A = this chain, B = another copy of it.
Amino acid sequence: MFTLDPRLEKDTVELDKWALSRVLLMNDSQYPWLILVPQVPDIRDIIDLDADEQATLMTEIVRASSVLKKMVNPHKLNVAALGNAVPQLHCHVIARFTTDPAWPKPIWGVNPPVPYSAEKIADFRRRFSLAAG
């Protein structure tokens, strides 16, 4: 049975469940930052998914990217499945701006997270739902 890694659970807020992935908002207000977690047990890497799941993951990466583009029109999108700290397969989709605190570096480990207020999370959730259609 699929269960979300406790560290991902602690660091994020659930926005939705799509066909394959749980859609999470990273609770760091410095960057519009989604995380897709395929709801398949015991998966570490994209190659551990079957071919249909891999194809669906790509369509969900594109969907998450499009939602962020509609919401905030970033300068660049960063898409990454790393998983060195949390081995459960999860895919970051991050909206980047030349004015963000880590630019042009990758965001991981640059600054400690700055959590959203409850109001900001509610606002993000509302705008996410509108943009996801």
Of the candidates B46, B59, B62, B105, the one whose C-beta lies within 8 Å of that of A84 is B105
User: How many A residues have CB within 8 A of the partner chain?
Assistant: 33
A4 CB within 8 Å of chain B = no
Q: What secondary structure prevails in chain A residues at the interface with B?
A: mixed
**A69 and B47 within 8 A (CB):** yes
A106 CB within 8 Å of chain B = yes
**B84 and A45 within 8 A (CB):** no
A96 nearest in chain B by CB position: B84
A residues apposed to B, CB below 8 Å = 44-47, 51, 54-55, 57-59, 61-62, 65-66, 69, 76-85, 87, 96, 103-106, 108-109
